[in-house]
């Protein structure tokens, strides 16, 4: 039988006391899961720690397939208002046949590793000979799309984002400490 000598026992006691103190004060508790991954219909993307979450809007106006204006909804509405001011106002102005507007809105995250836009709603409107699109109708549709994206931002984020430990924190020691903490 081997007896533990004084110096070895002192090291063992010091390690036990240190480990107990760190565990008791929370120093060894796993950090909150803050590493975000977004899931979408084509897969997933690692974002890292989320720095910013916001609603985004984007629209493109084309005439016979040629892009004539693009930007966020505010840019497009401002441009439409300027155009209509020279032709009688928004209520009296229609789009010419062949004009198409495509728009999308959703949630955008900026993370420590990457940025991602999740489109939650979109629309396409085309002015034809049979049905010209009034400017007021297009603006109302854009505002409705943006309002819906803002109202559903929290729900869409909750469904799309998954949080966990950062890949570097997924070590065996972290898993053991997590199990001890429970």
| Average pLDDT, 10 consecutive residues per value, the chain (182 residues) | 68 70 59 81 88 96 94 95 79 85 97 94 94 90 97 94 75 57 60
pLDDT score recorded for residue 109: 96
Coil, strand, or helix at residue 131? coil
pLDDT score recorded for residue 176: 60
pLDDT score recorded for residue 54: 96
> In a 10 Å sphere around its CB, with 0-12 CB exposed, 13-18 middle and 19+ buried, how is residue 3 labelled?
exposed
CA dist 23 and 35 (Å) reads 23
Q: Which tens digits make up the pLDDT trace of 47-65?
A: 999 999 999 999 999 999 9
Neighbours of 56 (CB within 10 A): 17
Q: Which tens digits make up the pLDDT trace of 106-124?
A: 999 999 999 999 999 999 9
> In a 10 Å sphere around its CB, with 0-12 CB exposed, 13-18 middle and 19+ buried, how is residue 38 labelled?
buried
Length of the chain: 182
End-to-end, the C-alpha distance of the chain in Å comes to 37
Long-range contacts of 164-167, Cβ-Cβ distance < 8 Å, separation of 24 or more: 164/33, 164/35, 164/37, 165/30, 165/31, 165/33, 165/35, 166/34, 166/35, 166/48, 166/49, 167/35
In the block, which residue shows the tokens 């900026």?
Answer: 110
């Amino acid at each position: 039988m081997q007896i533990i000598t004084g110096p070895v026992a002192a090291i063992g006691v010091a390690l036990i006391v240190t480990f107990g103190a760190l565990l008791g004060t929370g120093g060894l508790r796993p950090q909150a899961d803050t590493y975000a991954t977004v899931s979408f219909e084509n897969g997933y993307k690692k974002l890292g720690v989320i720095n910013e979450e916001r609603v985004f809007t984007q629209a493109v106006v084309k005439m016979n397939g040629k892009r004539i204006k693009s930007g966020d909804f505010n840019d497009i509405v401002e441009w439409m208002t300027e155009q209509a001011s020279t032709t009688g106002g928004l209520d009296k102005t229609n789009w010419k046949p062949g004009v198409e507007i495509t728009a999308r809105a959703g949630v955008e995250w900026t993370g420590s590793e990457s940025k991602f836009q999740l489109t939650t709603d979109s629309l396409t409107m085309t002015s034809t000979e049979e049905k010209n699109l009034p400017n007021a109708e297009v603006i109302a549709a854009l505002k409705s799309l943006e309002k819906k994206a803002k109202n559903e931002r929290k729900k869409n984020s909750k469904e799309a984002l998954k949080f966990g430990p950062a890949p570097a924190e997924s070590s065996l020691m972290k898993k053991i400490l997590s199990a001890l903490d429970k």
